[in-house]
Amino acid sequence: MHQNKTPFNFIRLLKFLFVLSPIIFFGIYLQVQHKINDLELIIYFVVAVLPLVASIRYFLHKLAVLDRQTILQIHDNKATKENQLLLTKIMEKLSDPLLILDSTNRVLMANKSAHDLLGKQILKQNISVFIRNSAFDSALLRAHDTEVPVSCEFKFGTPITRHYLTRMHLFSMDSDQNRKSKQYMFLALYDVSAIKRADIMRADFVANASHELRTPLASILGFVETLQGPARDDNDAHERFLAIMHDEASRMSRLIEDLLSLSRIERDLHVPPSDKINLSHLIRSVINVLEPQAREKNMTITFSSGLQKDIIGDHDQLTQVFQNLIENAIKYGSRNTEIRVAYVKNILSPQAGTKDITITITNEGPGIAPEHLPRLMERFYRVDSARSRSLGGTGLGLAIVKHIVQRHKGRIFFESELNSTTKVTVSLPLEQ
Ligand SMILES: Nc1ncnc2c1ncn2[C@@H]1O[C@H](COP(=O)(O)OP(=O)(O)OP(=O)(O)O)[C@@H](O)[C@H]1O
Ligand SMILES: [Mg+2]
């Protein structure tokens, strides 16, 4: 251990002599007055001064030690306070809820996110009062028995339930007074709702895609068996069944094309498009392609253009967008009605200074009930599945449209009135 020696100091010596001066002067006075001889003076110094010097030295030494200790203590306290402040600041800045519990699970420290999530009254309260979940409780119990961090997932919150992952770390610290070690629990909460949602969506997507493929496949297999068996010699049935099998096989092929198209668009979602596009020409050519289909339902498609400026986009993908939207208007619109495709002027985008090009597609028909509107662009979501399937739909059209519009940094939304009109608005930024 490092010994802290007091260095020689002339001022200290003078101070020392000053303290001793009355005794020294008294001895000298006695000698000058011939009250004592030289020998007696020496004895006087030995008897009176030396023990005094020794005790003063001892006293000063004690003082110095005390002094050092006080300084150290002040210094230590300051460092601890600074560390505490630093720790609190870091905890406060982190966006995940963080808590420190004592050995009885009472909350000792909590950052702002923890307060926001669990309430302002959590301090000094048992955490289980605020997180009422059996999985969480048993994880906490396990965490007290092990030095290894314990994790657990649990659902929490009303009215919106969210998924949380918690990590609990047990740690101990020596307490200052009695050197007895105390145990604490560090608890971090992570909101994993988005990951959970993505997991569920992925699982749903695989289940839906398999189902969509299995249905036509089962139908084709059924017809093949019938043709090989009971309808082997029935020529009429041959023709009918082959036509159905052709339709089903085409639907499967469309579905696979749509799935591949969706995955390609998702892959390129963050690659900005680079084609220079005259949107008027593009929409006009889509209408030309779809006009025969509209005529079958005695529908007319009108297009009021007036659109001069070019936009930067992906030609094939934007063709896909308008093809799908206008095709939907034909498929789900009523016979003998008009479909209006219009360019809407001067709609400013939320980003100041940039202008959008806004196109609306309006059709007359049964419309879409409000509860379906928010889910319309989900993969495989249909308002009327049987109707969509009978019209050859895969239910992926609007999901593809949504992703393409996202890639173009645009917006799309539906408005509909039952038994009246359905209007789709697509806005694309003029400058990417
Ligand atoms: N203009 C519209 N009027 C009424 N309902 C619509 C309209 N557009 C879309 N829908 C509804 O939204 C659903 C989803 O449309 P989406 O384009 O994604 O699929 P689809 O048309 O059934 O199949 P696909 O486009 O893949 O061939 C449709 O099944 C339909 O119920
Ligand atoms: Mg469609």
Helix (H, G, I), strand (E, B) or coil at 387: helix
Is any ligand 1 atom within 6 A of the Cβ of residue 320? no
> Pick from 191, 225, 246: which residue ends a domain?
191
Domain that holds residue 349: 273-432
Handedness of CA 310, 314, 319, 320 (dihedral sign): negative
* Ligand 1 atom with least separation from CA of 381: 14
Helix (H, G, I), strand (E, B) or coil at 412: strand
Are 430 and 338 in a shared domain?
yes
Number of domains present in the structure of the chain: 4
- Encoded tokens for 164: 């949380």
**For residue 59, what are the β-bridge partners?**
none
Q: pLDDT tens digits, residue range 361-408?
A: 999 999 999 999 999 999 999 998 888 878 878 899 999 999 999 999
Is any ligand 1 atom within 6 A of the Cβ of residue 393? yes
Are 327 and 379 in a shared domain?
yes
Q: pLDDT tens digits, residue range 260-293?
A: 999 999 999 999 999 999 999 999 999 999 999 9
Q: How far apart are CA 130 and CA 122, in angstroms?
A: 7
Helix (H, G, I), strand (E, B) or coil at 108: strand
Is 282 domain-assigned?
Answer: yes
Is 64 domain-assigned?
Answer: yes
Are 186 and 279 in a shared domain?
no
> What CATH number is attached to the domain comprising 226?
1.10.287.130
Are 243 and 283 in a shared domain?
no
Task: Judge contact between 137 and 128, C-beta under 8 A.
Answer: yes
> Pick from 158, 191, 224: which residue ends a domain?
191
Is any ligand 1 atom within 6 A of the Cβ of residue 410? no
Is 5 domain-assigned?
Answer: no
> What CATH number is attached to the domain comprising 423?
3.30.565.10
Are 279 and 416 in a shared domain?
yes
pLDDT for residue 3 is more than 50: no
Ligand 2 centroid vs 330 CA: distance in angstroms?
10
- Encoded tokens for 219: 């139908």
Q: pLDDT tens digits, residue range 13-62?
A: 777 777 778 877 887 888 788 777 878 888 877 887 777 777 777 777 76
Q: pLDDT tens digits, residue range 137-190?
A: 999 999 999 989 999 999 988 778 899 999 999 998 876 555 567 889 999 999
Task: Judge contact between 402 and 329, C-beta under 8 A.
Answer: no
